[in-house]
Amino acid sequence: MTNAILLFQSHSFLSYGSFQGNKSRSFGHQRSVEQQRRLLRSVRPKSSKSLHSLSSLADPSKHHFLHVNDLTSSQLSKLLQIALEMKLELKQLGKYRTKPLDGKTLAMIFAKPSARTRISFETGMYLLGGHALYLGEEVGIGKREAVKDVARVVSSMNDTIMARLYAHSDLLELARFSKVPVINGLTDYNHPCQIIADALTILEEKKRLQGVKVVYIGDGNNIVHSWLELTSLVELEFTCCCPEGYEPNPTLLDLVNRSHRGKASIEYDPWKAVVGADVIYTDVWASMGQKSSLQQRMEVFSPYQVTMDLMKASQNKDTIFMHCLPAERGRECDDKVMESHNSKVFQQAENRMHAQNAILLYCHGILNNQLV
| Length of the chain measured in residues | 372
Eight-class DSSP state of 50 = -
Residues of the domain holding 262: 193-348
Asked whether residue 251 is domain-assigned, the answer is yes
CB neighbourhood size of 303 (10 A): 12
Q: How confident is the model at residue 287 (pLDDT cuts 50, 70, 90)?
A: confident
Strand ranges (DSSP E) for the chain? 105-110, 131-135, 160-164, 182-186, 213-217, 237-241, 263-267, 279-282, 320-323
Model pLDDT, residue 41: 54
- pLDDT value of position 70: 96
* Domain presence at residue 202: yes
Sheet of strand 213-217, all strands in order from the earlier edge strand to the far edge: 263-267, 237-241, 213-217, 279-282, 320-323
**pLDDT score, position 294:** 84
Q: Is residue 318 over pLDDT 80?
A: yes
Closest CA to 89 of 161, 37, 136: 37
Per-residue pLDDT of 206-219, as tens digits, reads 999 999 999 999 99
Q: Among 302-306, 334-338, 345-349, 366-370, which is the least confidently predicted range?
A: 366-370
Helix (H, G, I), strand (E, B) or coil at 26: coil
Rounded-to-integer distance, Cα 301 and Cα 217, Å: 9
The domain that holds 276 is classified in CATH as 3.40.50.1370
pLDDT value for 4: 38
Is residue 296 in a domain? yes
Task: Give pLDDT, residue 289.
Answer: 67
What is the four-CA torsion angle of 339, 344, 348, 349, rounded to 10 degrees? Answer: 10
- The answer to whether residue 233 sits within a structural domain is yes
Q: Which residues are catalytic?
A: 324
How far is 77 from 139, CA to CA, in rounded Å?
A: 36
Taking only the tens place, the pLDDT of each residue in 156-175 is 999 999 999 999 999 999 99
Q: Is residue 315 part of a domain?
A: yes
Q: Alpha-carbon distance 204 to 124, whole Å?
A: 20
* Residue 331, pLDDT score: 96
Q: What is the pLDDT of residues 217-226, one digit of tens each?
A: 999 999 999 9
Q: Among residues 9, 8, 12, 21, which one has the least CA distance to residue 50?
A: 21
Mean pLDDT of the chain: 88
Residue 64 located in a structural domain = no
Within a domain: 85: no
* pLDDT score for 338: 98
pLDDT over threshold 80, residue 368: no
* Residue 17 forms part of a structural domain: no
Nearest in space to 187 (alpha carbons), one of 177, 199, 174: 174
Kindly report, residue by residue over 66-115, the tens digit of the pLDDT: 999 999 999 999 999 999 999 999 999 999 999 999 999 999 999 999 99
Q: Give the tens place of pLDDT for each residue, 10-62.
A: 333 333 333 333 333 444 444 556 666 666 654 443 333 433 333 333 334 57
**What's the structural domain count of the chain?**
1
pLDDT at 148: 98
pLDDT tens for 246-255 read 999 999 999 9
Q: What letter would DSSP give residue 69? A: G
Q: What is the pTM for the complete model shown?
A: 0.86
Q: What is the pLDDT of residue 322?
A: 99
Phi, psi dihedrals of residue 161, rounded to the nearest 5°: -125, 135
Is residue 205 within 8 Å of 225, Cβ to Cβ? no
